[in-house]
Amino acid sequence: QKEVEQNSGPLSVPEGAIASLNCTYSDRVSQSFFWYRQYSGKSPELIMSIYSNGDKEDGRFTAQLNKASQYVSLLIRDSQPSDSATYLCAVRSGTGGGNKLTFGTGTQLKVEL
């Protein structure tokens, strides 16, 4: 069983629509959750962090966390063509050392004109 799962996509949305990206994780003691955006050929860029249940908003991005159901999601409002990228979900466990992040395989988002 994969520790962090994402639908690989591609997820296609029209410009101006809301894009919804989902991620589930298996380690119940996970404490910290992150969303990275990665353009083709580039390194990942951190766009959102969330640590407690509920919603966290930053501009057009909203991260949602539900620890009981072990899922975290990212909503992108008013999607733009520049949002077309792969979005990686990353999880930090509460156990073990090293402050390591475990990544999902990413969801490819395509925003169409």
Partner 1 sequence: DGGITQSPKYLFRKEGQNVTLSCEQNLNHDAMYWYRQDPGQGLRLIYYSQIVNDFQKGDIAEGYSVSREKKESFPLTVTSAQKNPTAFYLCASIPRQANYGYTFGSGTRLTVV
Q: Are 35 and 48 in contact (CB under 8 A)?
A: yes
- What is the per-residue binding string for partner 1 in 31-60, x denoting contact by CB under 8 A? xx-x-x-----xxxxx--x-x---------
Q: Are 65 and 53 in contact (CB under 8 A)?
A: yes
Spatial separation of the C-alpha atoms in residues 18 and 61, rounded to whole Å: 10
Q: Is 8 in the site for partner 1 (CB under 8 A)?
A: yes
- Cβ proximity to partner 1: between 17 and 61 the closer is 61
What sign has the CA pseudo-torsion 7, 102, 59, 39? negative
- Cβ proximity to partner 1: between 51 and 55 the closer is 51
Q: Is 100 in the site for partner 1 (CB under 8 A)?
A: yes
**Joined tokens for residue 56:** 């966290």
Which residues are at the interface with partner 1 (CB under 8 A)?
Answer: 4, 8, 31-32, 34, 36, 42-46, 49, 51, 88, 90, 92, 97-106
